[in-house]
Amino acid sequence: MIRELTCIGCPMGCSLTVEVENGEAVSVSGNTCKIGENYAKSEISAPTRVVTTTVISRQGIPVPVKTAGNVPKEKIFEVVSLIKNAKLSLPVRLGDVILPDVAGTGVDVKATKTVG
């Protein structure tokens, strides 16, 4: 089977062609760097994403947050739900952990801005 992907590993946005057998990438073409090859292989076998959103503080002010690393794609909706239901009070500092080990992923959710 052939899958067409757009690499998100760097600003180049290479158009990748991936040959897939038994759920694994066996060949990757169209990439201009090793990042593209690694991205394609990961995207086929175990896709992940960084989640970026906001938490509304008890004071009603939104606090921008993101996961400190990639989470499995199948857990994104659970992660977003947990973030949206998080309760926090200001002040919040850049880098503060808002939710540790969100959804059992081993990844923390952190504030991306000092607020309050």
Residue 95 near residue 71, CB atoms below 8 Å: no
pLDDT digits (tens, 9 = 90+) for 16-65: 999 999 989 999 999 999 999 999 999 999 999 999 999 999 999 999 99
> Which residue type occupies 85?
N
Cβ atoms within 10 A of the Cβ of 33, count?
13
Query: What was the pLDDT predicted at 46?
Result: 92
Name the band, by pLDDT with cuts 50, 70 and 90, for residue 11: very high
The pTM (predicted TM-score) of the whole model is 0.81
Query: What was the pLDDT predicted at 84?
Result: 95
Every domain of the chain and the residues it spans: 2-46, 52-111
Find the helix or strand (DSSP H, E) in which 79 lies. Answer: helix 76-84
pLDDT digits (tens, 9 = 90+) for 19-29: 999 989 999 99
Over its C-alpha atoms, the chain yields an Rg (Å, rounded) of 17
Residue range 52-111 in CATH 3.10.530.10: yes
